[in-house]
Amino acid sequence: MSESRPRRPYRVTFVCTGNICRSPMAEHVLRKYVEDEGLLAVVDSSGTGGWHAGDPADHRTVRTLRRHGFTSDHSARKFHRGWFDDYDLVVALDDGHLRDLRALARDERDRDKIRLLRSFDPSAGPDLDVPDPYYEDDEAFEHVMDLIERAVPGMLAVIRLGLRETAA
């Protein structure tokens, strides 16, 4: 008779620069879809820099999330090297974040967890950066929302696959 161990949730974190605009927006969007599908997954976010640690999301991020029916509660934090062990998927929002995360990675196992958000969108084309809306207007935040929403189906497919693999 074999003992069954409890299933472990699939863990995703989004990483942008200060963790107040793009990554919290992606966190709340994916979290809602994960919850709606009843997937066993934990979704959060962080930044490559820690200067906004403890701050809420940018007011324009909050406004955009609420306008689209998503939650927005957030406290910024900085991504740390040791966190790679805690995540199955580390999603960078642009190429600069990708480089920073790869530099933090301790080995190939850590590097294999890192993906660009737009790599999950088959229609993305060659430019996979999600532009930073911080110095822009509400329209830029809406554009970020659109890019995130387009990547969600691909991320959900990866989460489903990861959950099947851990259940086996």
The pLDDT of residue 157:
98
Amino acid at 155: M
Q: Are 84 and 105 in contact (CB under 8 A)?
A: yes
The whole model's pTM is what?
0.94
The pLDDT confidence band at residue 166, using thresholds 50, 70 and 90, is confident
Tell me the pLDDT tens digit for each residue of 66-121: 999 999 999 999 999 999 999 999 999 999 999 999 999 999 999 999 999 999 99
Residue 167: is its pLDDT beyond 80? no
Lowest average pLDDT, out of 21-25, 74-78, 121-125, 162-166, goes to 162-166
The catalytic site residues sit at: 16, 22, 132
Structure tokens at 66: 């609420």
The pLDDT of residue 1:
40
Residue showing tokens 């993305």 = 124
Residue 5: is its pLDDT beyond 70? no
> What would the CATH number be for the domain defined by 10-161?
3.40.50.2300
Tell me the pLDDT tens digit for each residue of 107-155: 999 999 999 999 999 999 999 999 999 999 999 999 999 999 999 999 9
